[in-house]
Chain A
Amino acid sequence: MKVLGKCLVLILVLCSAPVKAALDIVITEGVDAARPIVVMPFKWEGQDPMPSQISDVVTSDLARSGTFHPIDTFGLPQKGISGVTEFNTAAWANVSAEAVVMGSIKPYGAGKYLVSFDLIDLVKAQQNPAATKNDLLLDTREAVITQAQFRQYAHRISDIVYEQLTGIKGAFLTRIAYVVVEYGAKFPYRLMIADYDGYNEQMLLRSPEPLMSPSWSPDGRKLAYVSFENKKSEIYIQDIYTQVRTKITSYPSINGAPSFSPDGKKLAITLSKDGQPDIYIVDIATKALTRVTNHYAIDTEARWFPDGKSLLFTSERGGRPQLYRAYLGTGKVSRLTFEGEWNLGGAVMPDGRSIVFVNRTQGKFHIARMDLKTRFMQVLTETRLDESPSIAPNGTMVIYGTTYQGKQVLAAVSMDGRFKARLPMGQGEVKSPSWSPFL
């Protein structure tokens, strides 16, 4: 609290009112490869105008997953139906899609709504017209929600549909943290969070000095980041709900690149207090330091492997920045990347079996992925000056910072590189995205 009082120039704001979408997705590649699906407009069973349309959110969720292509609902054989009981199997024989999502929204007492939905297996319906309605039903749910929960419940439906059809947990109920910079403003640097799709954007902190490298705690409650508010780099942890900020390190020289350990008790960080940037681990509760690397070259950008026993980091010890792995038990360090001129800024996939990072080849910076066993590297992006990759908690998508029309913007690419999208913002430069864990 003392720190808070001291920094009057630094303003903490947590807006309670939801802000409209700040990020409008522009899908630049990948619709052709996606699986067709039907998301019917949910049937409104009330007298007053419908407060919000759930199916719009589900449609855009599935589209931006890159896995699905929600087809145009204009020419569908049936309209205004909300459940499998009204589904006429024969009528849908020629619709090219693999599943149908339909549902209804009913007023349910003061300010509450009953939302129900069915997920229908269209492939089965077309292959076996005699199948019972129950056989066609892949999932069915209903829930009572408030008006404020419409978007959240829509994401929940998207998660269920996605998992039913792919076997992979959906990551639609997640958030991203990022930094917005508006040069010339009184507080040019702003730390923001938003729903994964850009809605409900909220400012966590604004400052006259740079803010960098937000990193989520495993419970999705806290962010660690770097702030220059005291004219030097320092590492803070901020609770996104209570706004409580704690200064974790303020050593001489660099305090950078924080990354929460999988158990949430420690941060891997970069400090240069002992002469050159090296990797350290700081215990969040005691602030006790453990040194991980000790090399005259630059070591930075540490990220934990999911088992918490080793760290991925960037090192210049081979002459150029490359990715290395440090084993905490033995102190052993091994080099992981050899392809291209530079490889840096790594992130570890949730299964720990591959890594995503910035690759520089012939002077161009792109996001690449490498399988740790086969060492096969695939460049995923074609955008300019790509940096700061962050992986969705289900491992299907990477969000990263890039340059578009001379400005810093966020972009996303699917793990196979086939789906690409841009997330343009209205004002300022947008950078350092960090995808939250499952919430």
Chain B
Amino acid sequence: MDLNKLFKAMLVVLPIMAVSACSSTSETETDATSTNGTTSSESAANGVQTGGVAPIVSPEEQQRLKFQELRKENVIYFEFDSSAVSPQFEEILKAHAAYLVEHSNVKVVIEGYTDARGTPEYNIALGERRAKSVTKYLQGMGVLPSQMSIVSYGEEKPADTSRSDAAFAQNRRAILVY
């Protein structure tokens, strides 16, 4: 089955179902991951509620769709001077790993970045360590080393160019680029 097509079809079908039921509002939301349940929407204008049934999706497909959503998240953030992957990013990395394991021909570049504290060259080394720590994590989940390459940009390409603590937190990151 072509998953991509199914997913796209759902993106189209669900809003149509909802919109056709309550054409007076635009507050319709679709959740692609809750496809085994029912969808419902409420119209504030006339108070009626409609019920609908989502297409049947197997648990495996459900898992894949969830991962597909998660893979849209491709940035892992780090603590100051640390290259440890914090547990909150485990789900995201699992999703990427599952995809990479299934598609062994797909390659990913992991880019490592730091904030502006310290020296530029030390930060290149630290950025590489962050990227490596993500590679190790993915490798632990079965991704082949040959699928992954790394590049460190250190403090040279900040996501947020202001030099505040909030900006620094945004800049201490690794990005998975397919």
Which A residues fall within an 8 A CB radius of B?
Answer: 183, 210, 212-213, 228, 231-233, 253-254, 256-257, 270, 272, 277, 298, 300-301, 314, 321, 342, 344-345, 358, 360, 365, 385, 387-388, 403, 406-408, 429, 431-432
Within the complex, which residue of A210, A272, A385 is in contact with B117, where a contact is CB–CB below 8 Å?
A385
A-B CB proximity, top 3 nearest: A345-B119, A210-B156, A298-B125
The CA-CA distance from A419 to B124 in the complex, in Å, is 32
The B interface is mostly helix, strand or loop, or mixed, namely mixed
Are A212 and B121 in contact, with the CB atoms below 8 A?
yes
Chain A residue numbers with a CB within 8 Å of B124 are: 212, 233, 254, 256, 270, 277, 300
Which B residues fall within an 8 A CB radius of A?
Answer: 116-122, 124-126, 128-129, 150-154, 156-157, 161-164
The CA-CA distance from A387 to B122 in the complex, in Å, is 11
Chain B residue numbers with a CB within 8 Å of A358 are: 118-119
The CA-CA distance from A301 to B162 in the complex, in Å, is 26
Chain B residue numbers with a CB within 8 Å of A342 are: 118
Question: Given A277-B128, A298-B129, A257 and B121 touching (CB < 8 A)?
Answer: yes
Question: Given A183-B161, A228-B153, A385-B163, A432 and B122 touching (CB < 8 A)?
Answer: no
Are A210 and B157 in contact, with the CB atoms below 8 A?
yes
Chain B residue numbers with a CB within 8 Å of A385 are: 116-117, 163
Q: Which residue of A lies closest to B151 (CB)?
A: A232
Within the complex, which residue of B122, B151, B162 is in contact with A321, where a contact is CB–CB below 8 Å?
B122
Are B119 and A270 in contact, with the CB atoms below 8 A?
no
Are A228 and B125 in contact, with the CB atoms below 8 A?
no
Chain A residue numbers with a CB within 8 Å of B151 are: 231-233
Chain B residue numbers with a CB within 8 Å of A360 are: 118
Within the complex, which residue of B118, B128, B129 is in contact with A344, where a contact is CB–CB below 8 Å?
B118
Knowing that A253-B152, A403-B116 touch, tell me 4 more A-B residue pairs with CB under 8 angstroms. Answer: A272-B125, A298-B122, A321-B122, A403-B163
Q: Which residue of B lies closest to A342 (CB)?
A: B118
Q: Which residue of A lies closest to B162 (CB)?
A: A406
Return 13 A-B CB contacts under 8 Å, by A number: A232-B151, A233-B124, A253-B150, A277-B124, A298-B122, A298-B126, A300-B122, A300-B125, A314-B122, A344-B118, A344-B122, A345-B119, A360-B118
The CA-CA distance from A196 to B120 in the complex, in Å, is 22
Are B153 and A277 in contact, with the CB atoms below 8 A?
no
Interface centre among B116, B122, B152, B162 (most CB of A within 10 A): B122
Q: Which residue of A lies closest to B129 (CB)?
A: A298
The CA-CA distance from A257 to B128 in the complex, in Å, is 14
The CA-CA distance from A291 to B18 in the complex, in Å, is 66
Chain A residue numbers with a CB within 8 Å of B164 are: 406
Chain A residue numbers with a CB within 8 Å of B129 are: 298
- B78: shortest Cβ distance to chain A, in Å? 15
